[in-house]
């Protein structure tokens, strides 16, 4: 089974919308639905915190502490599709920075549930 890491938007999570970390990303990973093509083990779930500067080091720390290098990193659907969007960056830019720093492919979005 593939191992993945998921990154959620902390501002969205803290707004109390029940996403992510409630069930959507986890269900998509468990069943291999949405953008997650096959059932996958979530090895890390990282919460971005505004303005996002600590995100890459936090992802690196999660990999170091867990001793697991994920096969792919997913930016959660709430992070990618939030309206209004992130005022500090955008999903494409975040994905490129994370991929460049970690050498791991970054996929935009996780689930397609409502």
Q: Which residues bind ligand SF4 (CB under 6 A)?
A: 9-11, 48-52, 79, 86, 88-89
> What's the min distance (Å) between Cβ of 98 and ligand SF4?
12
- Given the complex with ligand SF4, which of 28 and 95 has the nearer CB atom? 95
- Given the complex with ligand SF4, which of 37 and 93 has the nearer CB atom? 93
Distance from C-alpha of 80 to C-alpha of 113, rounded to nearest angstrom: 14
Peptide bond between residue 73 and the one before it cis (omega within 30 degrees of 0): no
> What's the min distance (Å) between Cβ of 70 and ligand SF4?
19
> What's the min distance (Å) between Cβ of 1 and ligand SF4?
28
| 72 touches 59 (CB < 8 A) | no
Question: What distance lies between CA 74 and its chain's CA centroid?
Answer: 4
> What's the min distance (Å) between Cβ of 59 and ligand SF4?
12
Tell me which residue has its CB nearest to ligand SF4.
Answer: 86
SS3 89: coil
- Given the complex with ligand SF4, which of 20 and 52 has the nearer CB atom? 52
Non-local (6+) Cβ contacts of 65 within 8 A are none
């Amino acid at each position: 089974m593939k191992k993945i890491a998921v990154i959620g938007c902390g501002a969205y999570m803290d707004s109390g919308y029940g996403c992510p970390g409630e069930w959507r990303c986890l269900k998509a990973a468990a069943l291999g639905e949405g953008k997650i093509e096959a059932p996958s083990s979530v090895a890390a779930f990282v919460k971005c915190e505004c303005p996002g500067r600590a995100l890459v080091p936090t992802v690196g720390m999660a990999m170091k502490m867990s001793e697991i290098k994920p096969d792919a990193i997913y930016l959660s659907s709430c992070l990618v599709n939030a309206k209004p969007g992130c005022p500090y960056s955008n999903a494409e830019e975040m994905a490129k920075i994370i991929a460049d720093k970690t050498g791991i492919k970054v996929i935009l979005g996780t689930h397609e549930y409502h």
